[in-house]
Structure 1
Amino acid sequence: MSRPATLPEQRADVVILGGGAAGLCLAHQLTATATTTGSVIVVEPPEGPSRPPERTWCFWDEGSSDFEEAISASWSLLRVHGTDGGALTVDPGPLRYRMLRSTRFEQLVHARLAAHPGARVLRGTAGAVRDTADGAAVSCVAPDGRPLTLRARHVFDSRPLHALPPARTCLLQHFRGWFVRTAAERFDATVADLMDFRVPQPRHGLAFGYVLPLACDRALVEYTEFSRTPRTTAAYEASLGHYCRDVLRLGAFTVEAAEQGAIPMTDARFPRRIGPAVFRIGTAGGATRPATGYTFAAAQRQSRAIAAALAAGRPLVPPPHGRRALAMDAVLLRALDTGRIDGPDLFTGLFSRVPAERLLRFLDGATTLREEWAIGLRTPIGPMLRTAVELPLLPRHFPPTPRSAESAS
């Protein structure tokens, strides 16, 4: 049997591997400004099992978003429920909590790239990346099986890692969500339930419900855990059923769609440069915030910084999170993992004692040292200090690979 003919070699100034949140955010930034970096190729998997299912991403920001046309819903009020059933509603203004679905986001960015003369999306399976004298080369396979080589001055790789780097602590934020439609109006469409701790808590870690109302009779309802290992789909389904029926008391409802995933929450160090002209971005480059699992906002910030650096002739990928933020996250993860702090009490206490806008800026790494000190005083000081002292002495080890890297954030 003859081998398929090799496709002609293709060149670009920038090749981006992966058309998820990080890859498309970078492609958008590289082509949206008047100061262009040249030609851009985005390599996405062809239709089939290698393409990820539709996902939901959430973030908060002030004013309009770069992807306003793709926003499915947004909320100006957030609510947290304690384990005792008490509810706290906060206004993080001027910030708004926003939700977008990956399909609408991809359609929007694809349309923008199609209108740009130097950009295009190539469907294929990306393989090995090797250094060359003038940049890097990517070995790909076209949908029809023919091999293809892409050459570029810079390659940005957003593909999931096969294994996470060594870490002192590695938890997972794992979840399953239902898009539900109720027979009666059961939701307040103006308020998003960020954390609802009125669900049974696991022996290790914490669990909460998460409700994003899309209308008075429609919402995304999720069951989420922070723990070391994911659950089975059947276990998630049972917990979601209990949450919808017995906690939210939705009455009659139908499930119109579902999503499931696991996000690493780790203090591992993610190398951003893996070759003279090859860089990692997105979750593979450390964009996921270790203590929260949120990624989309950091991917946008990182993309803007990369585009500005390339325009200035400086090929680099700046860190998506500051050192102080990562140090605080490492302490929090270890304290949660050891059980020294009660997760539901910690988060409900922070929302009740810290202004919501400041707390969200803190979770985004945008607070000052003075603000962070004040927030730290509102956490369990003894357990946190004990954890901070022991953390530098702990060895790093390779954690198990999560079964999924899908993100709801």
Structure 2
Amino acid sequence: MRPAKKWMEQYDYIIIGAGASGLMLADALGKDTFFSNKGILLLDKASKDTNDRTWCFWEEGEGQFDDIVSKTWNHIYFGGKEFSKRFKTAPYSYKMIMGIDFYKAYLKRLKAYPNISFRKEGVSEVVDYGNRVLVSTDKNQYSALKVFNSIFDYKMATHQKKYPVLQQHFVGWRVKTGLPVFNADQATYMDFSIPQKGHTRFMYVLPFSKTEALVEYTLFSKDLLPKEEYEKVLRDYLNNDIGCDNFEIVDTEQGSIPMTCYDFSEHHTHNIRYIGTAGGWAKPSTGYTFMSSSKKVPVLVEYLKTGNPLDQLSYKNRFWYYDLLFLDVLAENNDKGHYVFETLFKNRDPQLIFKFLDEETSFLEDLNYVLGCPKLPFIKALLRRIFRDENPRKSTL
């Protein structure tokens, strides 16, 4: 073991990354009396004092994050090539949380837990030595019994060929317009009216008022685009579809979320567990991670109490297989995405879609959902998957 740079501080648990999953986990450990005598260290290279992202999710009624929700919508709009409709979402609401509001609230909570420390340090290496885990940062070295790591690299998933790896990549502009062009109570969930160009491409609009909104150009595909291509489509959409040629860009955001059913299990060890996007917590078929993390954190905390090795915990369920077939469809024919979603929204209400994507449906509701999708692409994907799994040497993606 390499010598410490200055000293070797020892902890029971170290959480790497103060994003959604890291902060949720730290808070869950802090408020559970089972861990009151455990030393916990949270590390992040950033001080988390800027609004670097937004999270959106749908939820039925009131929820645990309502005190930091900055905006809700009670209607969504779906736009397709042949079918478009405005839907009421009740009893669901579509909710948005600003990153800075989440960070402030959760970092404030952590200050109330005497056994939790937060330090601004970038992590360079994490090694499991069997009885302890060594964490090296740009300033110090630490050891812990267990480490939860949220640092993600696409190479974690792209080194294999068994499961497709797509990206949900986007560039968004928060704009202010000179004229009232937005419906403040309607979120554009997906608008496929834009050119698809062989991929799954749609616009996503979150209005804050009649004159202010976040407008995002989003793709489900393997590769990113040049930044100027995202920006051109955004400008064209605002000009031609929204009907606004006079607007001010007040903020921007961009990102890429992995869409894959690769379960990341080979990266876990007895004492290291990857969490968040790095742990496969992003919903494979949608990229939504926030609520997925909020559901997985309590399971992880209860499992931690058992003392069993961290790499033996599995979150896999039947929805994993549904997501796998959907991603197989997109990987084989990426231009079919708009057709899949348009058929689904034409045949099924958004309430069932939300419930299914939240993995809260019964098996009969699953069947109802599946029958609302186009049949042929998924039958073909199922047959390819069966053949691929039975003949791994012939597998190609």
Q: TM-score w.r.t. structure 1 length?
A: 0.87
Residue 214 of structure 1: which of 191, 199, 208 is its match? Answer: 208
Aligned to 1:60: 58
Aligned letter for 1:28? D
Aligned letter for 2:28? Q
Deviation at 1:286, TM superposition (A): 0.7
Deviation at 1:133, TM superposition (A): 5.2
1:314-355 deviation per Cα after TM superposition (whole angstroms, max 9, x unaligned): 5647444x4321211121122223228732232122123223
Aligned to 2:101: 104
SS at match of 1:298: helix
SS at match of 1:360: helix
SS at match of 1:99: strand
Aligned to 2:342: 348
Distance in structure 2 (CA, Å) of the matches to 1:341 and 1:373: 25
SS at match of 1:275: coil
Aligned to 2:70: 72
8 Å CA contact retained: 1:272, 1:285: no
8 Å CA contact retained: 2:130, 2:271: no
Distance in structure 2 (CA, Å) of the matches to 1:87 and 1:319: 39
SS at match of 2:265: coil
Deviates more, 1:249-258 or 1:27-36: 27-36
8 Å CA contact retained: 1:291, 1:332: yes
Evaluate the alpha carbon distance shift between residue 162 and residue 208 of structure 1 in structure 2; reply closer, same or farther with a 3 A threshold.
closer
Distance in structure 1 (CA, Å) of the matches to 2:26 and 2:318: 29
8 Å CA contact retained: 1:76, 1:191: yes
Deviation at 1:31, TM superposition (A): 1.4
SS at match of 2:301: helix
8 Å CA contact retained: 2:355, 2:361: yes
Count how many residue pairs are aligned between Structure 1 and Structure 2. Answer: 386
- Aligned CA RMSD, in angstroms, stands at 2.6
Any residues of structure 2 matched to 1:60-139 within 5 Å, and which? 60-84=58-82, 86-132=83-129, 134-139=131-136
Aligned to 1:367: 361
Distance in structure 2 (CA, Å) of the matches to 1:87 and 1:263: 26
Deviation at 1:357, TM superposition (A): 1.8
Q: 2:220 matched to 1:226?
A: yes
Q: Which sections of structure 2, spanning at least 5 residues, go unmatched? A: none
Any residues of structure 2 matched to 1:268-283 within 5 Å, and which? 268-271=262-265, 274-283=268-277
Q: Percent identity?
A: 30
Aligned letter for 1:23? G
Evaluate the alpha carbon distance shift between residue 302 and residue 188 of structure 1 in structure 2; reply closer, same or farther with a 3 A threshold.
same
Structure having greater relative contact order (Cα 8 Å, sep ≥ 6): 1
1:333-381 deviation per Cα after TM superposition (whole angstroms, max 9, x unaligned): 2222322873223212212322322211111222122111121112221
Deviation at 1:52, TM superposition (A): 9.5
Deviation at 1:93, TM superposition (A): 2.6
SS at match of 2:373: coil
Aligned to 1:149: 141
Any residues of structure 2 matched to 1:186-265 within 5 Å, and which? 186-203=181-198, 205-265=199-259
Distance in structure 1 (CA, Å) of the matches to 2:33 and 2:71: 30
Evaluate the alpha carbon distance shift between residue 173 and residue 353 of structure 1 in structure 2; reply closer, same or farther with a 3 A threshold.
same
Evaluate the alpha carbon distance shift between residue 252 and residue 300 of structure 1 in structure 2; reply closer, same or farther with a 3 A threshold.
same
Evaluate the alpha carbon distance shift between residue 306 and residue 47 of structure 1 in structure 2; reply closer, same or farther with a 3 A threshold.
closer
Aligned letter for 1:95? Y
Aligned to 2:39: 39
SS at match of 1:268: coil
Aligned letter for 2:142? L
Aligned letter for 1:189? A
Evaluate the alpha carbon distance shift between residue 277 and residue 52 of structure 1 in structure 2; reply closer, same or farther with a 3 A threshold.
farther
Q: Which sections of structure 1, spanning at least 5 residues, go unmatched? A: 143-147, 400-409
Q: TM-score w.r.t. structure 2 length?
A: 0.89
